[in-house]
Structure 1
Amino acid sequence: MSHTEAAKKPLVLRNANFRRLWISSTAGIFGTAVTSVALPVIAVTELDASNSTVAVLSGMTFLPWLLFALPIGVLVDRHRRRPLIVVSLAVRTLLLASLPVAWWLDVLTVTQLFAVSFGAGLAAVFFTLAEQALVPAAVDRDELVEGNGLMTGSGALGDAGGRAVGGWVTDAWGASNALLLQVAASLASLTAILRLDVAEARPDRPKDRRVFRDMGEGLRYIFSTVPLRMLLITGALWNLGGNIVVSLLVLLVIRSLGEHPGMLGLLTAATAVGGTVGGLSAKWITGRLGSGRVWRYSMFPVVAGYATLLFITPGWGMTAGFIGLFIAGFSIALNIVVSTTFRQRVCPPQMLGRLGSAQRMVTWGMLAVAAFAAGLLVEVMDIRGAILTGILVAALAPLAAVFGPLRRVRDLEDLEPPRTEGPAGTRTETGLHTS
């Protein structure tokens, strides 16, 4: 088969290493989606936790990003990524498997639920950063948009399936028993990553072991240019407001509207289905509209989609929420593909772990802050009022993008640093130059 004919095949078929990474990621996201439905339902229905406790619980998975992302990013850059993924996936699986066991023994407590959520989140920091850093090694530079689109789209599909199945299994088996699906998905993810055949040279480890210096380099890098700063600011604002909404969704659907966990799973799956379509459409849409425009305007439909939650009612009244969350998921996926691709293209390979950790410490750390904020809001106002507050905060993100310094940029790729030939034919980048 000629090179041209091979290139016409989808990336997942023509690149075995990307396919294995893709399978591992998608299976892992499926299991995580099941867990994201089951954990708050365990708190609400099996442990009868308070509203503020349920809201805060959703942030425990993301708290490790705020506390430990920077040093873990340094470790990812100093070690081979594949072994880190294997170990962290195994640890996370064992932690989550302890919950159904504790339920069977009638010893499950809110304290264990919080501890397992935090520990599973800590393991996720390791394998998420390592996986993200492996993508550029598994594909060519010109395949990054396609690769990230496939990862985002199929990940959203796995998320949709996991949430829908998780909601159904939670109804049928019980919330704690539903976590057995997470165990099965993690085993599939481990099997795929063990077959990965990406050549990883042993990273050069500084003799001085100055971890704080390397952490500082990652932080400085994400603030070093206007495009990276704006991606960071908008991502942080969006996650702060958006996760206030998401943290309260279980309370709105189950406690306020009196719906069953299966409906919660289907409602959140609508976001993931939209994300699947958005991720798979990202290459086509950015090619026609420009990645800069897509990044700026994709967050407005998300705000509108989340606003539909203020008007949902039991039964057929949930339809507006399904439509709104589908639109939200579609637009979020476009934004993620554009942002992730730009960072991967401009970042030197040896900095990918630190860039990812510094960026997610801020943006994903906001998910934890948002959950704590949701816990406070739901104590001083009703659930819908707290959701409205989150929507208003999230709306600051697209406003910052549209009126910010990148408001006239059609393609973010135009802001990439020039690539020049270095010694011995190596490629080097000179840094971004933007006003």
Structure 2
Amino acid sequence: MKRIKQFAEPAAPTFIHLWRHPGFLILFLTGGIIAFGNKIYELALPLILYELSHSAVKMSTMRAIEFLPNLLLAMFIGVLVDRVHKKSWSLWAIGLQICVLLGLYAVISYGNPPIFVLYVSGFLLMLFGYAFNNARVGIVKHSLPAEMLTPANASFNFMSTLVGIMGPAVTGLLLMLPVLYDALFITAFLFSIAFVLLIFLRSDEPPNAQQDGFWRELRAGWAEFRSNKLLWQLTIAVIFLNATSGMVDTTIIFYAKDALRLNNVELGTVLAAAGVGGLLGSLLISRLRRTYSVGVLVTITTLCVALSYLLMALSQSSMMLSFSLLINGCFEMISTICIWTFRQESTPHQLIGRISGITGSLFKLAMPIMIVSAGWISEFAHPTVVFWLAALGNLIIFSYCRFSSLWSK
């Protein structure tokens, strides 16, 4: 109960002190650059696949493979992150991403590579990306006092959603060039800048506790997770929320390109609407958290996201699709920040890597199979069927949240 009360009644944000914190500034800039690079390659890679195959199944398979590292390895990565120096770990993760991007760029530049090369590259990029993100959760936990966590997470997500506005539009312009895979080289360059910035981060991490053995430490993480009832209930909801979101995210590009016949610039503009919505959500979250509990916010946003999926299914123009993505981005952002912040606030610092890893694996539990299913549905039925199914799924999740103890927390 003490944890739940702490989350339901957060302290007032301290934005002025936050922006004077040198560690936060470096993490903020590094995260923004990496988010911008991710926006470029995440849009470029499926479009490269689309040009090579014109297949929704191959595009959805790519998306499913990208989530496998989280599903299969996140909890083990969490144990390792709790053991290591998180700054060094983060530098290695970014450096390995740079190597993968440059390697893939070189392979594509010499001709049409086998599809499995793109699949393996996508898997590795997500693996090292998750390794970095898990460590950053721990760095934030160690660097900032509890009352700064909500404004810090809101600021991180503000930057990522601001990039969401710019990134797809810029990528659309880049994809007008004859050589699409130049986007991979640009991403590697941006990651290199982030790597250099992170070197200057002053790390004041506490010394690692004595190691008790890998499996014993993993069991300790599971014991902490099971004792946190609200986080456990939220995780059940997030498993299915991520499944419906993954289905829609995979289908949007194919629907926009294949059904609405949007060009790359129009596609970038449409996807930027989701970034605008996310920006609005990150601006609203601090005020909402002072009024409503995490359970109420997650429940209400689940219903609103379901309505955005219905609007997508009814969209017959880029304007209507943009409007639905704006609504979707706003309420998904509010829900995400609530869940991330509660996870940080309610977890002891020595277990933050393991809890992030365990929940990270569970959060993605249903995503690969649902994403692949979305590709088959788009290929042999119609993409709008995916949107209808996602809306139905969110309505079921809303009912679970509304009539469970989440609503009263």
Task: Determine if the TM-score, normalized by the shorter chain, exceeds 0.5.
Answer: yes
8 Å CA contact retained: 1:17, 1:138? yes
Map 1:352-431 onto structure 2 (within 5 A).
352-409=352-409
8 Å CA contact retained: 1:153, 1:333? no
Corresponding letter in the other structure for 2:44: A
Q: Which residue of 1 aligns with 2:126?
A: 121
Partner Cα distance (2:102, 2:398) in 1? 40
Partner Cα distance (1:194, 1:49) in 2? 42
**Which structure is richer in relative contact order (CA contacts within 8 A, separation 6 or more)?**
2
8 Å CA contact retained: 1:242, 1:394? no
Partner Cα distance (1:238, 1:276) in 2? 20
Q: Are 2:275 and 1:269 aligned?
A: no
Deviation track 1:119-178 (CA, whole Å, cap 9, x = no partner) reads: 111111210100111112221111111111111111111233222211221123543112
Map 1:88-99 onto structure 2 (within 5 A).
88-99=93-104
- Structure 1 residue ranges without an equivalent (≥5): 1-6, 410-435
8 Å CA contact retained: 1:80, 1:201? no
* 1:239 Cα deviation from its structure 2 partner: 0.6
Deviation track 1:52-73 (CA, whole Å, cap 9, x = no partner) reads: 1111111222111111111111
Deviates more, 1:378-387 or 1:397-406: 378-387
Pick the aligned partner of 1:287 from 283, 286, 290.
290
RMSD across aligned C-alpha pairs, in angstroms?
1.9
* 1:21 Cα deviation from its structure 2 partner: 0.7
CA spacing shift, 1:395–1:187, aligned 2, 3 Å: farther
Partner Cα distance (1:399, 1:192) in 2? 45
CA spacing shift, 1:381–1:8, aligned 2, 3 Å: closer
Q: Which residue of 2 aligns with 1:413?
A: none
* 1:212 Cα deviation from its structure 2 partner: 2.4
Partner Cα distance (2:34, 2:397) in 1? 29
Deviates more, 1:179-188 or 1:283-292: 283-292
CA spacing shift, 1:11–1:171, aligned 2, 3 Å: farther
Q: Are 2:243 and 1:240 aligned?
A: yes
8 Å CA contact retained: 1:129, 1:357? yes
CA spacing shift, 1:11–1:48, aligned 2, 3 Å: farther
Q: Which residue of 2 aligns with 1:423?
A: none
Q: Which residue of 2 aligns with 1:20?
A: 26
* 1:332 Cα deviation from its structure 2 partner: 1.1
Pick the aligned partner of 2:301 from 279, 298, 303.
298
Corresponding letter in the other structure for 1:255: D
Pick the aligned partner of 2:109 from 93, 96, 104.
104
CA spacing shift, 1:378–1:96, aligned 2, 3 Å: same
Pick the aligned partner of 1:60 from 65, 81, 98.
65
* 1:8 Cα deviation from its structure 2 partner: 6.5
Pick the aligned partner of 1:37 from 40, 43, 62.
43
8 Å CA contact retained: 2:309, 2:390? no
Deviation track 1:385-434 (CA, whole Å, cap 9, x = no partner) reads: 1332233223333222212112123xxxxxxxxxxxxxxxxxxxxxxxxx
Partner Cα distance (2:343, 2:118) in 1? 35
Corresponding letter in the other structure for 1:312: S
Q: Are 2:349 and 1:349 aligned?
A: yes
CA spacing shift, 1:164–1:217, aligned 2, 3 Å: farther
Partner Cα distance (1:253, 1:351) in 2? 42
Pick the aligned partner of 2:252 from 249, 253, 256.
249
- Structure 2 residue ranges without an equivalent (≥5): 1-12
Corresponding letter in the other structure for 2:56: N
8 Å CA contact retained: 1:78, 1:203? yes
Q: Which residue of 2 aligns with 1:420?
A: none
Percent of counterpart pairs with the same letter? 21
Q: Which residue of 2 aligns with 1:194?
A: 199
Partner Cα distance (1:371, 1:56) in 2? 7
* 1:269 Cα deviation from its structure 2 partner: 2.0
TM-score (norm 1): 0.86
8 Å CA contact retained: 1:60, 1:121? no
Corresponding letter in the other structure for 1:134: I
8 Å CA contact retained: 1:11, 1:147? no
Deviation track 1:156-208 (CA, whole Å, cap 9, x = no partner) reads: 112332222112211235431122221122122212211111212331242x5
